[in-house]
Amino acid sequence: MGKLTVELSGMTLKNPVIPASGTYGYGMDYLDFYDVNILGSFSIKGTTLHERDGNGLPRICEYDQGMLNSVGLQNPGVYDVAGKIFPELKKVYHGQVVANISGFSFDEYVECASVMDREDIVGLLELNISCPNVHGGGASFGTDIPTAVEVLKRVKQSVRKPVYVKCTPQCPDLVGMCKALEENGADGLVLSNTFLGIRLDRRTGKPIMKNITGGVSGPGIFPQALYKVYQVYPHVHIPIIGCGGISTADDIIEMMSAGAAAVEIGTLNLTDPQRIPQIITELEQLCDTLHVESITEITGRAHR
């Protein structure tokens, strides 16, 4: 067991670095850059029950400290992922992945989760509850506590693998949401998904993206994402995966100090696809500098 080893609900990771869903495809896009087996794990592209083309173009735009996206969960559907993509992935990747799943109704979540639960390459299920709830008139599952709890309970009844819930920072009571999720069976949390934002074309004054708004990510949101983890950590007793704007080994130390047991790195995979191996090396060197024998020691130290 190395000094970077962490454990998430029985899943052992050689380091706490997990490329985030939506930025890493299904893993094979990065084989030309480095051996993906150096990762702690990675979160697969957000997968839904049925194939989706995603939102119309343009659906990505940049800002000085990151990007906005409104891709809209483009993916081939869970049965193609399980039946076609995973068999190819197993040829090159020898660990387990985090399966990010989404749905537009309770039944879609349950079926998608059940399919992923049967796959031995999946170590954790990551429920993305930022999707519109068809039964709730289009409101996000992740902004209403009773609705989020209901989808979690239904999924937990249908699977055996640990279920982590990826929460949206748009939730008006994030602490209350996370406490309720823990009380109703969540094995862990991912804090958090992207913040909501907009960019306008300076020539026309109109929104740049066809969907008008998009999820803001990148280094510019790191202090806000860090605060979400810091805010929630004292109120729960389940692992938190910290996510949002992480781009350096120092950022990982901060995020874990705030309460994260591991981290997800997103936008950096798109802006500098060769950077993560360097960060893992730098993280181990930083632990030596800080006289940290096991990186698990620092989780939550901001509160001690």
Q: List residues with catalytic annotation.
A: 131
Sign of CA dihedral 7, 163, 120, 78: negative
CA–centroid distance for 274 within its chain: 19
- Distance, in Å, from the CA atom of 234 to the CA atom of 258, rounded to the nearest integer, reads 10
Q: What gap in Å lies between CA 20 and CA 35, rounded to an integer?
A: 17
Nearest Cα to 259, choosing from 222, 233, 297?
A: 233
Tokens of 144: 């209403």
Longest alpha-carbon distance in the chain: 57
Q: Which residues pair with 196 in a beta bridge?
A: 215
- CA–CA distance, 295 with 204 (Å, rounded to integer): 50
**Backbone phi, then psi, for 136, in 5-degree steps?**
-105, 20
Calpha distance 218→247 (Å, rounded): 8
